[in-house]
């Protein structure tokens, strides 16, 4: 299933010690056999019980447990407005968007990370630097953290030659949104990229890989100048898989000259600090050429990975994220 999730260590450590209402395994909602978390715990949008903001915040399923104060649900079909997004938010030239699932250059692998930057990303960058390899980061604006609070990490990844790409502002399912809401998600994040990096990415990965079969989604992304990338190989690290289970995906990936785009998450501590560095070494040993997504598609000039829209800015009072800015709509 093409879903992204931070499986918190809280759940992994405590699931055997806590009683989550009616649930017997810490899972809930439609993906958890319709089990409930009871009245003391929240059911996250991905079907796990807990009490963190990741469980009780965006997408919390109120039918299967409690939800925190000020929770913002997945955006409804009724457009809302935003007073913080300028109508001249930067975009790239229109393209015909198609779902790119794997590399074009034979024998290459693009190892990608979704949902960050996070507190674990700097450690991952340290590992990648020591190994001399490049990755691709599909970045959110206001999901597990605020992009502005992690601006230095984003700048570092960009300057060290990793590819920075879009993953929407707040990680909604684009297939459920109107055109105006999709534009808000993309342009709100473009605004942040422009402030922090002075560029906007031309590659995007839709959350959950959802919407690539929807003309409204693909046409809107194309109009905004985005090339759409999903994946052909998924570690499912978000499910709390062990290091060995995740690494088996790399070990069993079809050998060169086949190519792969692999999905991981740098919001997961084990992935960023332990599993991913081993994965890079495995693919090196298997004689894959490790590249960014753009490079594995044959686009080696990094200037073509972005559109330059100005110069990086210094942080000011506009560099903020709030619950109320997670959804919106623009014409």
- Active site residue ranges: 114, 265
Distance, in Å, from the CA atom of 311 to the CA atom of 193, rounded to the nearest integer, reads 11
Residue (of 96, 132, 134) closest to 112 by Cα position: 134
How many other C-beta atoms are found inside a 10 Å radius of the C-beta of residue 188? 24
Cα angle 90-94-98, degrees, rounded to a multiple of 5: 120
Q: Quick check: 43 and 71 in contact, CB under 8 A?
A: no
Distance, in Å, from the CA atom of 161 to the CA atom of 170, rounded to the nearest integer, reads 25
H-type alpha helices, 198-292: 215-223, 243-252, 269-270, 276-285
Q: Residue 170 in 3-state DSSP?
A: coil
Distance, in Å, from the CA atom of 301 to the CA atom of 298, rounded to the nearest integer, reads 9
Cα angle 210-139-321, degrees, rounded to a multiple of 5: 105
Q: What is the DSSP letter of 34?
A: T
Q: Quick check: 178 and 79 in contact, CB under 8 A?
A: yes
Q: Is the dihedral of CA 214, 216, 218, 221 positive or negative?
A: negative
Distance, in Å, from the CA atom of 272 to the CA atom of 277, rounded to the nearest integer, reads 8
CA dihedral 43, 249, 113, 181 (to 10 degrees): -50
Q: What is the DSSP letter of 274?
A: I
Residue with tokens 């992204």: 4
């Amino acid at each position: 299933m093409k879903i992204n999730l931070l499986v918190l260590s809280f759940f992994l450590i405590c699931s055997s010690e806590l009683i989550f209402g009616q649930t017997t395994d810490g899972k809930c909602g439609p993906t958890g056999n319709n089990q409930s978390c009871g009245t003391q715990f929240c059911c996250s949008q991905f079907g796990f019980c807990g009490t963190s903001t990741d469980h009780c915040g965006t997408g919390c399923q109120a039918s299967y447990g409690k939800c925190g104060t000020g929770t913002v649900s997945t955006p409804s079909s009724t457009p809302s407005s935003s007073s913080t997004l300028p109508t001249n938010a930067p975009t790239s030239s229109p393209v015909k968007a198609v779902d790119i699932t794997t590399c074009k250059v034979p024998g290459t692998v693009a190892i990608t990370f979704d949902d960050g930057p996070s507190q674990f990303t700097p450690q991952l960058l340290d590992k990648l630097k020591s190994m001399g390899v490049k990755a691709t980061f599909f970045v959110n604006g206001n999901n597990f953290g605020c992009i502005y609070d992690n601006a230095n990490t984003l700048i570092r990844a960009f300057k060290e030659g990793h590819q920075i790409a879009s993953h929407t502002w707040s990680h909604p399912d684009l297939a459920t949104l109107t055109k105006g809401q999709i534009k808000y998600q993309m342009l709100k994040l473009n605004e942040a990229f422009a402030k922090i990096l002075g560029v906007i990415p031309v590659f995007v990965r839709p959350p959950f890989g959802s919407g690539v079969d929807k003309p409204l989604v693909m046409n809107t992304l194309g109009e905004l100048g985005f090339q759409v990338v999903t994946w052909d190989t998924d570690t499912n690290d978000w499910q709390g898989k062990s290091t060995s289970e995740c690494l088996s995906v790399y070990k069993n990936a079809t050998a060169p000259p086949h190519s792969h785009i692999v999905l991981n998450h740098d919001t997961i501590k084990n992935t960023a600090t332990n599993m991913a560095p081993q994965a890079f070494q495995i693919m090196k040993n298997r004689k894959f050429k490790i590249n960014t997504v753009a490079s594995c598609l044959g686009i080696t000039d990094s200037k073509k990975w972005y559109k330059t829209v100005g110069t990086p800015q210094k942080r000011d009072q506009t560099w903020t994220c709030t619950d109320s800015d997670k959804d919106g709509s623009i014409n």
